[in-house]
């Protein structure tokens, strides 16, 4: 994993970057992580270089899902939206978390705050209960600091990184 630049970010933003990096590095089987705002925009990703990885030759080894970090954010946002709709139809209350088990991995989506979501792509070998536990720890630590101001700062940071990589 390549750590994103945190130069010039607030203390809260640097702490979220650290929490995300720690989640990926400390929990076996996590391939990639994305924090997504309530409107579906990527706020934070464990793999800032995934756009470059997606452009590699087809036979090149990859970690995590194909495509960009924004693609993972789109999937997480879509699953979050579908489960919220299902919960409303079933009078089930707020959605806390969703898990999709696949032959070659898992996708976990957990609510953070104000509609923001934490999405984790896990390998086929990951221990789902361990991943879910550590996601809950992340949400507990990040939820109270993920204010509208911090979400705006994280978006601007990602936009400036994207603009810098296009040059």
Neighbouring-strand partners of residue 97: 110
Distance CA 141, CA 144 (A): 7
For the chain, the average pLDDT equals 83
pLDDT digits (tens, 9 = 90+) for 43-97: 999 875 543 343 334 444 445 455 667 788 899 999 999 999 999 999 999 999 9
Contacts of residue 91, Cβ cutoff 8 Å, sequence gap at least 6? none
Alpha carbon 140 to chain centroid, angstroms: 15
Q: Which domains are seen in the chain, by residue range?
A: 11-47+66-166 (3.30.450.30)
The DSSP letter of residue 59 is: T
**pTM flag (> 0.85):** no
Distance CA 143, CA 114 (A): 9
pLDDT at 99 over 60: yes
């Amino acid at each position: 994993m390549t750590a994103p630049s945190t130069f010039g970010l607030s203390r809260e933003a640097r702490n979220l970057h650290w929490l995300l990096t720690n989640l990926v590095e400390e929990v076996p089987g996590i391939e990639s992580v994305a924090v997504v705002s309530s409107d579906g925009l990527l706020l934070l990703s464990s793999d800032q270089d995934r756009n470059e990885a997606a452009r590699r030759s087809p036979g090149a080894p990859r970690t995590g899902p194909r495509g960009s970090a924004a693609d993972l954010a789109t999937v997480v946002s879509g699953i979050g939206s579908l489960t919220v709709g299902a919960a409303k139809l079933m009078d089930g209350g707020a959605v806390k978390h969703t898990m999709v088990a696949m032959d070659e991995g898992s996708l976990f989506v957990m609510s953070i705050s104000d509609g923001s979501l934490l999405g984790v792509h896990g390998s086929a070998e990951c221990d789902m209960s361990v991943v879910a536990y550590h996601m809950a720890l992340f949400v507990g630590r990040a939820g109270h600091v993920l204010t509208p101001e911090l979400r705006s700062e994280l978006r601007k940071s990602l936009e400036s990184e994207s603009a810098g990589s296009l040059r």
